[in-house]
Structure 1
């Protein structure tokens, strides 16, 4: 059983489809989450996240992949380039496109987890709890900033191919 108090999580929902954005909000509210803010697209999300004060930072971003203007992968890449507290926010991408190559593309942009549509309240809650209770260390190198992309955290003894990357401590 999880000890995470989801009612205290401040979540940004990024979705250009008003119906799915409303569905996500309804599911999150039914699960007890009320500290919710919405962005109609990736551009609005970047504006919100770039201007957030450290005392009011988001705990989680849930965003769609396919959006008009700036898609979810572009949005994640931009979030990971921000200079404030939002840079390290956990991100769950929700999409109907679940091919492994697309999951890898999202992970390489800096997504913490991936949830395929259709979603259920249980699957969404499971991803939220997983991301919040089992954070992966953040990695920073010349071409990437985001959660450690290795899904398995087993001890690795081979050559270091990260080109001077720093593994940042968990907060």
Structure 2
């Protein structure tokens, strides 16, 4: 299935100019026309207000404000972008990072080196199969994929706590 990404706005927050170019080129290849870039989390937050993105592609490790801190600021119920799909890009693939990404409320994790296919699959996932959001005393973010119905929400609360 080929997605029409021409109407979506992407915000790419990545400190490496080279990596931003790679991501932008891939997105353009997929048909995206509105791509906004920022080089760190602080400028990424400012760009969000200006660009009103539909999808955030975010590097984990950056100076000033890293990706994890940016997600913590976004994933609060009162933030206007609280529900934005977030695809986190990282070169660190330890299990602890994957667990932390889930706890932060990341929709998709993309490990470097990235491929066009893997990026497209993550975008396809957030566009075609958006997940409901869960709010517990310790978590606010997309429900894990295992959750199929509202009866399982209690288990989600236990899993992410």
TM-score of the superposed pair, with normalisation by structure 1: 0.82
Identify which of 52, 65, 86 aligns with 1:91: 86
Aligned to 2:43: 44
**Structure 1 residues 145 and 155, CA, compared in 2 at 3 Å: closer, same or farther?**
closer
Report the RMSD for the aligned CA atoms in angstroms. 2.2
**Structure 1 residues 31 and 154, CA, compared in 2 at 3 Å: closer, same or farther?**
closer
**Structure 1 residues 112 and 153, CA, compared in 2 at 3 Å: closer, same or farther?**
same
Higher helix share: 2
Distance in 2 separating the partners of 1:58 and 1:122 = 22
Identify which of 105, 110, 115 aligns with 2:105: 110
TM-score of the superposed pair, with normalisation by structure 2: 0.87
Unaligned 5+ segments in structure 2 are none
Aligned to 1:13: 12
Unaligned 5+ segments in structure 1 are 164-171
Distance in 2 separating the partners of 1:155 and 1:139 = 12
Runs of 4+ in structure 1 over 6 Å off? 156-159
**Structure 1 residues 85 and 20, CA, compared in 2 at 3 Å: closer, same or farther?**
same
**Per-residue deviation, 1:154:** 4.4
**Per-residue deviation, 1:31:** 1.6
- Contact 1:41/1:70 (<8 A) preserved: yes
- Contact 1:14/1:40 (<8 A) preserved: yes
State the aligned residue count.
157
